[in-house]
Structure formats: structure tokens, C-alpha cells
Structure 1
Amino acid sequence: MSKQLQAVVFDWAGTVLDFGSQAPMGAFVQLFARYGVAISIEEARVPMGLAKWDHIHALGTDARIAAEWARVHGRVFSDADCDELYEVFTPMNRESVRQHATLIPGALEVVQALRARGLKIGSTTGYNRPIMEVLAPLAAAQGYVPDNLVCAGDMASARPGPLMMVKTLGDLGVWPPSSVVKVDDTVPGLQEGRAIGCWVVGLAVTGNMLGLSEAQWQALPAAEQQRLREQAGAELLAGGAHFVVDGVAQLPGALAQIEALMAAGCLPG
């Protein structure tokens, strides 16, 4: 059993860049609207963290949306429909990530500090490889280049299962999973860390749980910020997070607590 951290694995949108995970949301709403079915931003956010085909499928089979799809199209939403929507969605999301690629404040500094400690930096994402071919260079231009990248579609199955994390640990050459921390703003992203036996840290403010831009968040009264923070934190803890912080900038505090537990012989569980 390792008593030292070896790696931290980050999600992308809502975690290291795109405060509020804005890029996919408009694309999902526009996608279904193109097929005559209105969905809300709130509905579009519910499956966030899943691979995008799985996300579209979850939306299309949601009870309300499925009923509206059947009313408009005269048939039940099918896997073939999902395949078609996915092909339309990918170029829409490729375009939207260009507008939402800014690193979240503090993310780069935290990553640099982790590297200085000798930790490896992994990454998994619900985005597919064509979307990441646009987004990864935009992140690199700002200084963020993780040691690996595993996309939805790279493995036989994606979140909430463990396979993307299995590939990541193999890429990084680290083991056991209990020496790794997975950081994510969605429940499926946390669950992929739990599925392989990693420590998991949820992000309550900067990602999908609140879905607010940095400016929208900063404009809220302190009491409302606290209410939303607590609400999002409770959802992430219920979804499997060992610790919850506002964003990556606050990650070092959670890592210190994890390292103290490891020193005492505790395992993630």
C-alpha cells in the first residue's frame, strides 16, 4: 500500500477550464431544437460527465423529452436517432469549445505546484477525440498540457465505469489507484475514480453543478453563494466525493487531508 500520492487526474470542462462548463450546454439545447424538441439548460445539464453519445441518449430517453420526441416524430427515440444526433452534435460542440476554453483561475498554478512536487498529471474527459483536437491546443497555448488524455470513445465504455481511469493509470505508469486523486465537477466523473479505487475530490462552484460563469458567480450575494455551494456540495458528496472544494484553486487543502489519511493507513472507500 502506497502512503504517498503519485498522480492527480483532472477532468476538463468545469474543472481546469470553462468556468461553469458552458460549452456543451448551448450545443445540447440547439441540437434538440434542430429536431423540433425544446429542452432546457437545466435538463441538458442532468447527465453531464457522461460520454456525449451517452449524454444525448440519456436526454432522448428522459420521460418528458422522450414524450415530446414521440409527439413530434411519431416514434420512440431510438439508438439510430441518437447516432444521428451525435454526428450533428460533435461539430457543434467543436465550435462552442472555442468560445469557452479559458483556464479557471488558479488551475494552472495548482498544476504547476503539483508537478513541482513530482506528481504526474492525468486527464479524462466526456468529450470525444475530435472535440479535444480543438480544445487541447487552446489549453496548451495557456500553459496547460497534462501528461495524458483519455477521451470518451477511446475505450469500450466510458464513465461512470473505470476503463478511462485504467488507461490513464497505465499511461502515467502509476499504481495502486489509492495513490491517485481524481478531480471532477460531475458525479459520473467522480464515479469513474471510485470505480477503480482512487480518492475523489468534487468541485462545487466552477463546474456543472451550478453552471454559472465566473461573472455570474461573483455577482451573487454571499448568502446565495453559500446556499448554492452547500447544495452542490451535498450532491457531490452523495455522488461519491471524499472531499468537496469550490474549485481547483482550493485543491491543495483537500490533498493535505487525503495525505494525512494515507499516512494513517486509510484507503479510499
Structure 2
Amino acid sequence: MAHLRAVVFDWAGTVIDYGSCAPMGAFVETFAAFGVEISIAEARVPMGMAKRPHIAALLAQPRIRAAWTARHGTPPGEAEIDALYAMFLPRNVAAARRYATLIPGAADVVARLRAMGLRIGSTTGYTHEIMAEIIPLARAQGFAADCVVCTGDTPQGRPSPMMMWRAMIDLDVWPASRVVKVDDTGVGIGEGLAAGAWTVGVAVSGNSFGCTEDEIRAMDAAEFADRRARAHDTLRTAGAHAVIDSVADLLPVIRAFDAAGARGEAPGEA
């Protein structure tokens, strides 16, 4: 690499858990336990945020807030967010463990990035408690990061740049124009942009598309094309410098960013 020094990955939907499915069932089940039904589509809207702010964002959605108020008699507040979060966490730990399969191509791509001299970082909306379950499973499948920055490690999470900055400190890499952020959510792309890094959106394997590999294989071509186009558009609208279907497609983009950086181009000018 002439210019780039590191790639910082998201986890769910980017390198593990095709379709970013693990948190969805946990959110739906947790709200149902409090007598409020939410859909998978509603649960996906704030994806990429830390999980307590994610719950707060769900409760701020007008339909969900009205449903909660109708069920419980008062609008939800901080105490209700805490109660939901306390119930959600163990459910999410169990779900994350079940869905910790690497996305095809992730191990090979990371091995090749390392061979190119790049360091591998990661940021995630998961807590250290959840990542303690995932990291050994990912390592056994051939993926490991040089640093893992979790929700709670910085005063603010995504889309602020703080987790990216922490990763850059841990990796001993600067300036941010020498770093690429790879993420499947809009707030994750925002995190990379706010830090001043190059950004790559992951569309089909991630939250924007929101389907498992089996569901995609069963999908007809027209539906797949429509959903793929919408997922790509979502991440482009979020500001991603490039959008790919999955991490398996990353290497040509890394080479293009490296060449741009070597020419003196910066992410903010791209």
C-alpha cells in the first residue's frame, strides 16, 4: 500500500451474521415481553447505534411510542428504557452467539489485507459482554482484529467519530485519510465520515438488505435486484464513498482508495 495503513470493520452484517439478524429477534422479543409488538423492519431503523440508544430511538418512533403509551398508560421514559435494556442484553448475547458465522470471504479478505501491510481494527454497537462471546468464535473461523472498540468505550458512540478515533489510537495509525471504515449501516458510515476516513458501505450482507443467505437464494431475481438497489441507495445516501455487496468485494475498492490517496486526494474531496 502506498497510502493506506488500516481498515476498520463493523461486526454484525459486515464480517459476521449475514443479514445482521442477531439483534432483530432480541429487540422484537424484548418489546413483546412488555406487551408492545414491533416489526423486524421497525427494529432495523436505528441499527448501528449502541443498543441502549437504539432502544430509546425505537421508543421515539411515533407508532411504537403510541403503542407503549396505550399499553402502559404513560409514555416511556428513562426508567422504561433501562428496563427494556436490562431484558434485551441477555437475549442479545445468546442471539449473537447463534449468529456468529463469518460472512463468506471475510477471513480471506482480511488475510490479504494483512499481507498488503494493513492493520485491522473494528468498532461495534455491541458491548464487551457480547463481544466476549463472538471474538473466540470469529477467531476459530479465521477472523481476528487488532483492536475491538465497543459501545461504552467512548463518551459517545456512532455516528460520532469517537469510536473511530479510539480505534486509530489503538492501531497507532493517523491521519484518518489513511484509514478505511467498512460498515453496513448509515450511522456506521457517518462514524467513518465524521472521523475523516474513507468509507465503504456493505449492502447485501448487511442491515439495509436484511436477509439471510438462504432467504436470498429463495428470492426471485426481480425482488433481489430491487432490494439490492435500495440497499445500495441507502448507503450512498448516507455518504459512503463506495458501496459493495459484501466484504468479499472489498479488495478492488481498497486499491482504488490507496491510489487516490497516493495522488493526494482526501476522503472529503471524493
Instruction: Give the TM-score band, short-chain normalised.
Output: over 0.9
Matched with 1:235 is: 234
Matched with 2:36 is: 37
Matched with 1:72 is: 71
Which residue identity lines up with residue 182 of structure 2 in the other structure?
A: V
**What does 1:1-269 correspond to in 2, within 5 Å?**
4-269=3-268
Tell me the alpha carbon deviations over residues 26-73 of structure 1, each in whole angstroms, 9 at most, x when there is no partner: 000000000000000000000000000010000011100000101111
SS in 2 for 1:32: helix
TM-score normalised to the size of structure 2? 0.97
How far apart are the structure 1 equivalents of 2:74 and 2:129? 30
Structure 1 consecutive aligned stretches of length 4 or more whose deviation exceeds 3 Å = none
How far apart are the structure 2 equivalents of 1:53 and 1:251? 31
SS in 2 for 1:161: coil
How far apart are the structure 2 equivalents of 1:166 and 1:209? 25
RMSD: 1.1
Alignment gaps of 5+ in structure 2: none
Moved more, 225-234 or 178-187: 225-234
SS in 1 for 2:205: coil
How far apart are the structure 2 equivalents of 1:104 and 1:149? 18
Which residue identity lines up with residue 268 of structure 1 in the other structure?
A: P
Moved more, 252-261 or 179-188: 252-261
Which residue identity lines up with residue 9 of structure 1 in the other structure?
A: V
Which residue identity lines up with residue 219 of structure 1 in the other structure?
A: A
- CA offset at residue 173 of structure 1? 0.2
Which residue identity lines up with residue 152 of structure 1 in the other structure?
A: T
SS in 2 for 1:121: strand
- CA offset at residue 3 of structure 1? 5.6
Count of residue pairs brought into register by the alignment? 268
Moved more, 58-67 or 258-267: 258-267
Alignment gaps of 5+ in structure 1: none
